[in-house]
Amino acid sequence: MKKFGLVLLGITAGIIAVANLGSLLALALSALIAYAGFHYFRKSDSTIAKLFWGGVLLIGLITAISNVPAFIGIIAIIGVLYVWRKWNSTPADDNIIEHGPINDPFVNFERQWEEITK
C-alpha cells in the first residue's frame, strides 16, 4: 500500500511539474533579469544608471514573485525528488541487530593493558 501511494504521488507530481515547465522557464528568466539588474546596480556609479538598473531589478522581482504556477511546479519537483529517494532507499529492518567491533573505551583499555602487562 505504501508503494501505491508513492507511485500515485510521483505520477501526480510529475504531471504537475511537466505542466508547469513553461512557467518554470519564465521564472528562471525573470530571476536572471533580476540578478543582472542587481549586479549592474551595484557596479554602476552614476545616478541615471542606478535608476535604470534598479528599475530592471524591480521588474525582474515583480515578474518572479507574480509567477505563482512556477512555485507550484517547484513544489511538484520537490515531491518527485521525495518519491525518488523513498523508492530507492533500503527498508530498515528493526528485527536485525548488527554487531560490529566494540568501540567501548574501557574494553579497549583493558585489552591494551593486558597486552602491556604480559
Helical (H) or strand (E) element with 76: helix 68-88
Which residue from 92, 91, 111, 115 is spatially nearest to 102, judged by alpha carbons? Answer: 111
Whole-angstrom distance, CA of residue 14 vs CA of residue 100: 42
Torsion sign, CA atoms 101, 107, 113, 118: negative
User: Residue 110: its pLDDT value, please?
Assistant: 74
Tell me the pLDDT of the chain averaged across its residues: 86
From the CB of residue 33, how many other CB atoms can be counted at a distance below 10 Å? 17
Question: Residue 38 in contact with residue 87, Cβ under 8 Å?
Answer: no
Residue 90: DSSP 8-state: P
Whole-angstrom distance, CA of residue 57 vs CA of residue 42: 11
pLDDT per position as a tens digit, 68-92: 899 999 999 999 999 999 888 866 6
Is the pLDDT at 100 greater than 60? The verdict is no
User: Residue 48: its pLDDT value, please?
Assistant: 95
User: Residue 118: its pLDDT value, please?
Assistant: 77
Question: Band of the pLDDT at 34, cuts 50, 70, 90?
Answer: very high
pTM of the full predicted structure?
A: 0.65
Residues 88, 89, 91: CA angle, nearest 5 degrees: 130
User: Residue 90: its pLDDT value, please?
Assistant: 67
